[in-house]
Every structure is written in C-alpha cells, then in structure tokens.
A and B are shown apart, each in its own frame.
Chain A
C-alpha cells in the first residue's frame, strides 16, 4: 500500500464518522466537548453556523451521524447493546441551556451589495440560503403561502415533538438578518417571479403533496379518509382538533408515526399503524417506531390494503390482504399473498401516509426550465443546485424529492455558494475547499487538552413526560431533554474522533510500545502488502472495509506501520507510551466554507 496522504483533508474528515456522515458536516465532537465543559452557547453557535437550526434539529433530525458513530462499533461485544452517542439530543442540550445568543449573531451590513434574491417557500432550505446570503449584503425576500415561516418544520412536525417557541426563535435569527418575509403569498407562476428581475431565485418549496390510495371505497368514504401530511398541517393550523375513536394509519414512514401519535392525542383510543412491508423494513427511524410503541400504538405488518368498507357513505373499516416477503435471485423483495382470508379492521378514520410527491404546477413548462420525463422533476445539477435557467436554483425536497431537514440545510448552503458565485460572475463548478486546521493537543508529558479517559457508560435515555399527561394535550412536548448532569455523562461517551492519531515515521524507533498499549489492537508493524492482504495480516484483522487503514512510509526495519481506524478509541495511549513523540494527538477541525468571500477567492481561516 502507498503511504496515507494525511495532508488531504478528506482522510481525517472520514475518520470523524459523525461529521463526515452529516450532510452539513457539523463538527460534532467539537461541540460535544463544549457541552461537556458547560459552554452551551459556544456549542450552539458551532451548530448554528453549520446547520442553522440546532434547537429544531436537536429534536427532529434524521441523525445520519448516529448510525455512523464509532461508539456504536466500539461497543460491539463489549456490553449489553452497542449504541452510538446520543448526538442529536446533545445538540438539543446546547439549544436548551445556552445564554442569549443574539449578540453573537451576524448583523446584516448597512450597505447592501445591490443584488436581490427571492427564496420561494419558507422551509429549511430557503431559510438557509437567506441566512447565508443576507449577512453578505444580499437583499433577500422569502415567500410562503402560509402566514408563518418554517415550512414542513412547523406544518408537518407535531407540536409534541417540536414546540412553536423553538421554531419561532430559530426562524427569528434568520429574519433578524434583515430578510424580508412575504407571507400568505401563493406563488402561481415562476414566470411572474422571474419578471420581477431578481438576480437569482431559489426554489425551496418542498414536496407538498401526499400520495393517495386509490382502492375501492376511497370516494364513497372520503369524509373519513385523510391524507397524512395535509391532516398534520391542518392539526398544526388548529383547524382539526378531533379524530374518531378507532383510527388506522396506513404507511411506515415518519409521517405515519407523527399521524398515529397525533391521533392518540386528539381522541383516538384504538389507534394502529398498518404497513405493507415487514416491520424491520419500515422507512420510519427506529426511535420514532419506539416512541409510537411507547405510547401503546401497535404496528401490524405484511398487510396490503384492499378496500375501504363503508355503509351509508360512512367509513366502517378496511380490508387487507395478508402477504409475505419473497426474495428473488437478485435479492429483490416481492410481496406475495399468503392465501389466508382477507382481514377486516374496523375503524372510524383512516390516515393515508404512504409517501409524498413533488408538484410544480406553478412552473411554466415553456420558460426554459427543463424537467426530466421520467419523474417529472426539475433538472438540477447535484453539485451546484442550479437548474437549466442559470439564475434559478433548487434545494431541499424540491430538488431531488423528499429527504429531511438536514439535507435541506446542506442544499441551502450549496445553493447559497452557487448564488454568491453566480452573482460574482464566477464558475459555479469550482467549489470552495473546506477550512481545515490540525493542532497538537499535547499539554504535558501525559496531558492532553481533551479528556482522553474513556467512559464505559451505556447510552443514556432521554427523560420523557409522563405519558398520561403527554397524551392529553397535543402541545405538550413529550421529550424533556437531557438535564445538564445527564448531558455531561452522555457527552463523556463521545470518543473525540477528531483528536487524530498522527504518526511521524522518522521519529519511530519501533519499540512496540504503542502496539502493546493499544486497547483495541489497532496498530501493527508489518511488512508492506496490497491493501486486501494487509487487512488480513494485522494484529486484529481489519474487516470493515468502509474504514481506512492509515499506512506509514517504510521504517528502519523495512516494515510499515499500519493502523486500522475502525475501532480506535482516540484515547491517546499510543502517544502517551511513545518515547519519541512519533505518535501525536492532533485535533482536526474542518469547517465547511459557506457563501462569502471565502468561497470566491482563496479560502480564509476563521478565527477559532
């Protein structure tokens, strides 16, 4: 194998699994350390720069960081149940316990740069674009059909998961930057907006249409059949305050979980979720399924809806066909009927949450904006978020179909960079490099500026409101969040994966001290070989090929140092036991470059 090029920021970035997995590349270990130190405001601001909505995401994020978290792998065969660090809920801690952060917020410059930007839709992607561009002097106007800003954040996510104050606060930080908000405006024509001669237009209108279920009885029983996301927003608006006692929720995604839990709070007594697929294959996040189960909502699987049963124009139940999963040679799943008689479930109301679709009836097809024929989606460049009209950009669910808030934020950042470069007449394909810093953490012979002692604690559970109280009022938040003591204990579970093990081959005397001390058997001195072979000849075979091997140049004895990054605890013992300082623990800080001078000229370092 060739020696690892650690001067390429991608290498160490990949070692910080959580940050690498986050679409917005939030520096997770950095803010978790600050939470442990009680510096909640600092932790909040790190989040705010990266992901714009720490308080909102700390309650609702899809957390791609957590399945990636090294702690989950490290705990395998080391205790009861391997679990990642509760990264998402720690983010909420930063938001809950911070001081007034208003003085820390950027201000809109008094002198504008003369460029006008329109953001269509006031959801997370549009607000990110506005947040990134307004402080640079852009004149940003956000349009939304609703009175409030937030988009799906407030219309689809129920209040018992995300209180209104949190949304208002974080949307407020964006609007305080001098962003104009035109609420209650239903955009019916992109052409009209283009006629207003904005320098750039950003489309962040989401995926606003819930998929329907066209099976017999749908029309006749229409009164008691509701489309999930429409019903949720009607609940958020306060238009819907009640539902029947027996409710069936169709669908296995997070929207279905929100629907069933909302129903429980609006009069539903016998609420059940029914899905076509198996329980394991459901799209809903495992923790959302857990939350539903905790509230006593059964999830029935392998049932395909056949008919809505109705009498005198009133829904009385639904019939389902029992199926089982069969896999063909290519591993593709097929649901085939088991042959058992259809099952009837009685109910008063049905919520259909079987998916969401994009819909762009308001975009004229003759203004030069291309759509692909297959999916009816706009043609958008994955890197630049630019459409086929150079001044029109897309992001969030509107760009590539339904995803989640954190992806919308990432799209927003990318689009803002593109808009900034577009307005400066630069090449959009040339993307700015991230800002990277690598600093030794050595303070004394065996002292580091991070806490390298490894906690053996299992993941802490977030305290919940007593479900007797929580189920009575849809506005009562279920999760209480970690208190400061729990937050500290949970933060200590973080392995500080950004404290990188950096090896200097010239200093190494091959004394084996690092090999002997490493608790996870990560380090081996061995003759060089091709990667596949090298992986088998290490002290512990490196079977997780998603994780890199860190390989040194040839050492004095003709061997190389090979370190498997997979389950490294970043405890720094290799560096502590190294007599020559060939190993050092260095903090790798990577900040994404956002729109602004940094993305245009040479990258500038932000003062830490």
Chain B
C-alpha cells in the first residue's frame, strides 16, 4: 500500500464543472488495494461520471458490504455519505435509507462474493423491488482477501493461480438481474473507461434498479493464463453490443451519426440514451431477446458488454408503494404525530 497521501496539487488547467468542482474534488482517500487492481479503475470511473454529471457530493450516499470491492467507497467521493454494512447486506441497508430519504443518489458497491454468495438473496430482492439505485458489482471471480479461492462467479473450467480447475457452474449476475426485473442492466470492463463512464452516468440517471456488472481483474490472484477474468482474456473475448452516449435532458445533441447505426432511447425523465450499434439487430429494450442473445454468446465464451437492457418506462419502489413524496427528515412533529382526532379517523376507517 502507498504510504504517502496523494498530493493535493493538481494540473494547472484542471477544469471545473457546473457546480464549481474539479474532478479531484470527487476523489477519496488513497487506495489501499493492491497496485493495478481493476477496482481502482472503477472508482476512477465513478469519480469521472459524477464530475461530468455535476453531482453535488453531499447529495450522494455510497453503501457497500464486505470485501475488496466494498472497501472502495473510501477511495471515491470523499465528501459524500457512506455506510459500510455487514457482509452481503448492502441492499437492505440501502433500501431502508432510500425509503427514508428518496432525494439522495444511492450508489451500492459490491463484489462477487458479497452479492453472488452471502448476499445473493439480498441482491435478488433489491432488483425485483426496483430500488432506485446504481448497483455496481466489481466482479473478479476470486476471493482476493482470503488468498484467491474461486468465487461463485468464476467460470467453470477456469484455472486458479495455483493450477486448480473450477468444477462448479458460475452464477451469471447479469442473467439473474434480467430475470429478477432490473430495469437497467449493463456489463463492462474495468480496463475500458470509455465504455464504463457513460454506462455509470446512464445508470445514475435511470429511475429504478440499475445494475452494472463490471469485470475487474484481480492482479494478485486472477490475472494469469487460464483465468477468464484477466486483463488479457477479457480484452480478447470482449464483445461490445453497443457504445453508449449518455445525454441528459438539458444537453444539446451535437454528435452526428450515420443513419441506421444509432438507436435513441428516451427515458421517463427525458434523458436520452444514444446507442451506437456494434452488434447487428441488437435491441436493448427487448428483454426476452436480450436474455436469449446473452445465453448464446456466453456459450461461445464471449464476454458481452455494453448497455444490455433498459426499460425506458421503469418505475421504482416508491411508486409501487405509493410512499410520501418528501424525505422523512423534512416532516415536523405535527406531521408525524397528527393528534387524537386523526387517530380516531384512521381507526374508524378500519372498522
């Protein structure tokens, strides 16, 4: 681990965004992960996305569980709210926080152990409930903190650093998320920020459960020949179905594309996703086709990346439950305790 603090000096021409912050203002503490960890690139992508979207750091809550991935919220958005929960329990803590204060931006960061093993149930219910959040799984296929055993997402037939072949079937987080009703599903690679940053931006703007599976090589235990989550393997087998340009409601559309190569998806809130097609006939809004396509490509050994599925008319948990429109902390004592007359009324309505 690096002993010195990252120097606060920054490039003299470092630009400021609309809310007056430089990209450096979105950083956290210096990473204590192994040098070269893919997770650090994901942190850098989150920083970049938040800066580009002019997000006020104090309007973000970042939550995580346990593991290498779950340490990372300490390394980005140093001025945001943070909660480092119990192993695998990030989704329920986040759901609670979201119900209490719907106005914050919720970012859940988890790993393959945290979400695919101990927290699989939590993950499932969070997706099906449509909690309005960005759910990032930093997926490296191994338990790095305990010296590199296979995790539940490790591909069958892949080889560990010590030469053992994995005999168990992998859990496909993307497939699960699609089945469980996530309204935004993407997959990316920590070594491809050009793809990852717009994905995170679109996920932030998306209303509902936005899930991104990010393949993130573990340099210490899973970056060798025979691994299916190494830098080299992912680069060789990466099949991006599309390239995403994320445009907020307020932005002007300036880019020009050849006709027939772009699909425009207008979301509920007015923001626009422009998908430059890389795969023929790929329709990111057709859930059944997407699930079939992913199964086919996975059987070919490809790692399909991009914005895989989006439901432009998504709803979130608050809409399902018809909750109050304001955060609970804005209510005064009179709202919360409306008195005997009101109590009588409510009781009467239930008789």
Contacts and interface: CB of A to CB of B under 8 A. Distances in A.
B235 interface: yes
Given A578-B35, A579-B34, A516 B9 contact: no
A577 B38 CA distance: 12
Interface in B13-39: 13-14, 24, 30-31, 34-38
Contacts of A519: 6-10, 24
Interface stretch (B40-48, B101-109, B284-292, B310-318): B40-48
A512 B192 CA distance: 9
B1 to A, nearest CB: 7
A569 B7 contact: yes
Interface in B172-198: 190-191, 193
Interface stretch (A30-38, A71-79, A187-195): A71-79
Interface in B31-83: 31, 34-38, 40-41, 43-44
Interface residues of A, number: 37
Interface in A63-101: 73-78
Contact of B4 (A521, A543, A571): A571
B9 A78 contact: yes
B231 interface: yes
B6 A577 contact: no
Interface in B229-254: 231-232, 235
A567 B30 CA distance: 20
A509 B14 contact: no
B4 A453 contact: yes
A512 B8 contact: no
A520 B41 contact: no
Residue of A452, A520, A556, A577 contacting most chain B CB atoms (<10 Å): A577
Contacts of B190: 512
B217 A511 contact: yes
B12 A452 contact: no
A517 interface: yes
Interface string B143-164: 0000000000000000000000
B9 A521 contact: no
A543 B13 contact: yes
A419 B12 CA distance: 47
A377 interface: no
Interface in A558-582: 567, 569, 571, 573, 576-580
A454 B41 contact: no
Interface in A510-568: 510-513, 515-517, 519-521, 540-541, 543, 556-557, 567
B13 A541 contact: yes
Nearest to B7: A454
B7 A571 contact: yes
A516 B196 CA distance: 14
B334 to A, nearest CB: 50
A75 B10 CA distance: 9
Interface in A574-608: 576-580
A519 B10 CA distance: 6
A313 to B, nearest CB: 60
A424 interface: no
Q: What is the predominant secondary structure among interface residues of chain B facing chain A?
A: loop
Given A510-B191, A516-B43, A516-B44, A579 B9 contact: no
Interface string A106-125: 00000000000000000000
Given A511-B217, A516-B41, A576-B2, A75 B9 contact: yes
B223 interface: yes
A102 interface: no
B12 A557 contact: no
Contacts of A452: 4
B222 to A, nearest CB: 12
B351 interface: no
B20 to A, nearest CB: 14
A521 B36 contact: no
Contacts of A511: 36-38, 41, 191, 217, 219, 231
Interface string B89-120: 00000000000000000000000000000000
B11 interface: yes
A123 B5 CA distance: 49
A429 interface: no
Nearest to B36: A579
Contacts of A77: 12-14
A78 B14 CA distance: 10
Nearest to A515: B44
Given A511-B217, A513-B35, A513-B41, A73 B191 contact: no
Nearest to B6: A519
Contacts of A571: 4, 7
B35 A579 contact: yes
Contact of B231 (A510, A543, A576): A510
A77 B34 CA distance: 32
A-B pairs, 6 with minimum CB distance: A579-B36, A76-B12, A454-B7, A516-B44, A511-B36, A579-B219
27 contacts: A74-B9, A77-B12, A77-B14, A78-B9, A446-B1, A453-B4, A454-B4, A456-B7, A509-B232, A510-B191, A511-B41, A511-B191, A513-B36, A516-B43, A516-B44, A517-B31, A519-B8, A519-B24, A520-B10, A521-B11, A541-B13, A569-B7, A569-B9, A571-B7, A576-B2, A579-B34, A580-B36
Interface of B: 1-14, 24, 30-31, 34-38, 40-41, 43-44, 190-191, 193, 217, 219, 223, 231-232, 235
Given A78-B9, A512-B44, A520-B10, 17 more contacts: A77-B12, A77-B14, A78-B10, A511-B219, A513-B36, A513-B40, A519-B7, A519-B9, A521-B11, A556-B232, A556-B235, A573-B4, A577-B2, A577-B40, A578-B35, A579-B35, A579-B36
